Amino acid sequence: MFENIRLSFQGIWSHKMRSFLTMLGIIIGIAAIIAIVSTIKGTNEQIKENLIGSGENTVEVSLYQGEWEYEMDYNGVPQGVPLVTDEVMSDIKDLDHVENASAYLSRQDYSGVYHLNTAFSGGYVRGIDNSYFDTCNYIMKEGRAFTDEDFKKYKKVAILDTDSANALFQGEDSVGNTIEIQKEPYTVIGIVTKAKVFEPVINSIDDYYTYAQDTAGSIYIPNTTWPIIYQYDEPQNVVIRVDSTDNMTSAGKACADVLNNYLSPKDDTIQYKAKDLLEQAQQIQELSSSTNTMLIWIAGISLIVGGIGVMNIMLVSVTERTQEIGLKKAIGARKSKILNQFLTEAAVLTSLGGVLGVIVGIILAEIISYVTTMPVAISIPAAIGSVLFSMVIGIVFGVFPSYKAANLNPIDALRHE
């Protein structure tokens, strides 16, 4: 085997230009596949990060009526939906892959929040518990967090995120000042921000509508003061933090199942559902991948063309080396020995083309990323698979020339000129 490989490299080196041109089809095909797969993988990871956020892994479980999120403003407090108790939260936190959980109330407010004459329109007011900021990966930027006393004594205090602080105070100090929520005064005691800031990559108008997230910000108040400004006994939403992005779908559905077990069966259309961003990402990825799969098949055609080129050059090689084959047979070389020698030469030729194709494909993927700003992620399995596939092509298309060489009549071969 090693002697056949040595002879193969010797033959390739002695006909460098011819060997390179033979490998060119393989190189182009493998390079195209590596570049396409790398672009698909990079784009899919970008889609996942854009929708989910980098490393956050939080899933919101909200009350839905049919296919739409339940609107408290228009529909009022629904019947048969109990409040989320500490016992329910304990059950949720015990679910597999759930690291933390928090129950919260939420309302998008268009006309009820002011600081002096500045309105906070379109942002969210959220009534939260003590574990919300930790679950959602927030840290205090200024001021202080809520204390147990704030909850127990129904203190009208608020914490802003950076977006709502900028909208209401426009660069001025907000901590210690007062805002109005539904005509009730709340004192701002702090500003929070995400521990890990992530900005989605927007490459087109379609990306904007797909990934654009609300930038008006949120205002957080103790959940015990929620009935002061809105309604009593409003059902809460739940947000969970999951140990891995890949477990978000299963954990979100499990959390929704726990909450739905406590609902009264008066209205089957009202159910808790998880906002499955991972599933949305997968749907977009599948659409992207199905389109690019066609490109991979088209690139694969060049591998077939390259294989035909290998067959052609191996037939030429058999013709050129007819006397050598006859001499080997005359001194006792078996058919299998001749067959293996030519098969090895074909496999080495295409494998070398596969390796060069992988290198060119990686360079091509990086160039595409630099020129178009599209993300790429080099797929090691695809690279290894491409080299192995190129070797298979060499063996498949080298069978006929090798078989022809192995079955030459030694006498006719020695007479050949």
Question: 225 pLDDT exceeds 80?
Answer: yes
pLDDT at 69: 84
Question: 309 pLDDT exceeds 90?
Answer: no
Taking only the tens place, the pLDDT of each residue in 68-78 is: 888 887 788 88
Question: 164 pLDDT exceeds 80?
Answer: yes
Please write down the HEC assignment for all residues of 351-409. HHHHHHHHHHHHHHHHHHHHHHCCCCCCCHHHHHHHHHHHHHHHHHHHHHHHHHHHCCC
Question: 55 pLDDT exceeds 80?
Answer: no
User: Which position has the higher pLDDT, 205 or 415?
Assistant: 415
- Looking at the chain, the whole-number percentage of residues with pLDDT higher than 90 is 24
Handedness of CA 8, 13, 15, 17 (dihedral sign): positive
Most confident of 19-28, 335-344, 360-369: 360-369
pLDDT at 96: 92
Helix (H) or strand (E) segment spanning residue 281: helix 277-320
User: Which position has the higher pLDDT, 185 or 325?
Assistant: 185
pLDDT at 259: 92
Tell how strand 98-109 and strand 237-242 pair up. antiparallel
| Residue 8 banded pLDDT, cuts 50, 70, 90 | low
Taking only the tens place, the pLDDT of each residue in 245-264 is: 778 888 989 999 999 988 87
- What's the average model confidence in pLDDT over 180-209? 72
Residue with tokens 């013709």: 319
As a whole number, the mean pLDDT across the chain is 79
- What's the average model confidence in pLDDT over 318-337? 67
Taking only the tens place, the pLDDT of each residue in 359-377 is: 988 888 888 878 877 677 7
Contact in structure between 314 and 339 (CB atoms under 8 Å): no
Handedness of CA 68, 193, 239, 99 (dihedral sign): positive
Most confident of 318-327, 335-344, 406-415: 335-344
Residues contacting residue 386 through CB under 8 Å, at least 6 positions apart: 30, 33, 34, 354, 357, 358, 361
Beta bridge partners of residue 219, listed in sequence order: 125, 160
Least confident of 145-149, 242-246, 354-358: 242-246
Beta bridge partners of residue 221, listed in sequence order: 127
Helix (H) or strand (E) segment spanning residue 106: strand 98-109
Nearest to 394 by CA among 297, 296, 299, 313: 313
| Residue 7 banded pLDDT, cuts 50, 70, 90 | low
Distance, in Å, from the CA atom of 339 to the CA atom of 327, rounded to the nearest integer, reads: 15
pLDDT at 223: 94
Contact in structure between 236 and 272 (CB atoms under 8 Å): no
Beta bridge partners of residue 93, listed in sequence order: none
pLDDT at 314: 73
Structure tokens at 91: 């059950």
